[in-house]
Amino acid sequence: EVQLVESGGGLVQPGGSLRLSCAASGFTFSSYWMSWVRQAPGKGLEWVANIKQDGSEKYYVDSVKGRFTISRDNAKNSLYLQMNSLRAEDTAVYYCARDRVAAAGGPDWFDPWGQGTLVTVSS
Amino acid sequence: EIVLTQSPATLSLSPGERATLSCRASQSVSSYLAWYQQKPGQAPRLLIYDASNRATGIPARFSGSGSGTDFTLTISSLEPEDFAVYYCQQRSNCPITFGQGTRLEIK
């Protein structure tokens, strides 16, 4: 069974840092593009970043460029999101999502998703 | 950035009725459009990809159509478990973007 389990969320002050992790199991992690998608409380979905199978390509939404870094460790079947200089508007549930298909040359659709981890930025 | 506009914002229907949800893109996305379903407290689930292909395990009552800028998600006969929020998403251009969602509620 494919599983994605996020961790690392919590309460952090504005300007602070947090590192999210996503533990993957049930599939060949190194064969898939992976992504982070977030959802502010009561709001819609916002794609944050994605990363190619070997980590050689990474893309970000403009609002997090220079502050967030996506990375992966294929030996540990894990995806990460390092979040620095956090702002109140970064408050959201952060979902880890796998691409629908393996070995895609470019990003595919998000399937499946993890259950998410809540990040709250507040003083 | 490609903006996706979903309509209506809220749709009130009864079980057994047909639901038609719309997603309009600010510029052509070809067929690079997907639909997701999200229930309260749950992660989104992929329903339709490439505008008209059902994802694995999705019932046949869900169908998608359209290309270019206008897309439709149709649920042919609503089941109680279909009442949820639905999002469209494009991957034609970076950044990947989502519509604001349509809430499908029980009338």
Q: Distance between CA A82 and CA A17 in Å, rounded?
A: 8
DSSP B27: S
A27 touches chain B (CB under 8 A): no
pLDDT at A36 over 80: yes
Q: What is the mean pLDDT of residues A84-103?
A: 96
pLDDT at A104 over 80: no
| Angle in degrees, CA A14, A18, A19, rounded to 5 | 160
Residue A89 falls in which region: left (phi positive, over 0), alpha (psi -120 to 50) or beta: alpha
Q: Distance between CA A117 and CA B15 in Å, rounded?
A: 33
pLDDT at A13 over 90: yes
pLDDT at A9 over 90: yes
pLDDT tens track, chain B, 107 positions:
999 999 999 999 999 999 999 999 999 999 999 999 999 999 999 999 999 999 999 999 999 999 999 999 999 999 999 999 999 999 999 999 999 999 999 99
- For residue B95, give the nearest of A61, A114, A116 by CB distance: A61
Instruction: Give me the pLDDT at residue B63, please.
Output: 98
- Write the CB contacts of B12 (distance below 8 Å, at least 6 apart in sequence): B105, B106, B107
- How large is the greatest C-alpha to C-alpha distance in chain A, in angstroms? 43
Instruction: Give me the pLDDT at residue A106, please.
Output: 84
Distances (CA, A) of A97 to A68, A109, B27, B94: 17, 9, 26, 17
- Write the CB contacts of B41 (distance below 8 Å, at least 6 apart in sequence): none
Q: Mutate which of B31, B96, B98 to test chain A, going by most A C-beta atoms within 10 A?
A: B96
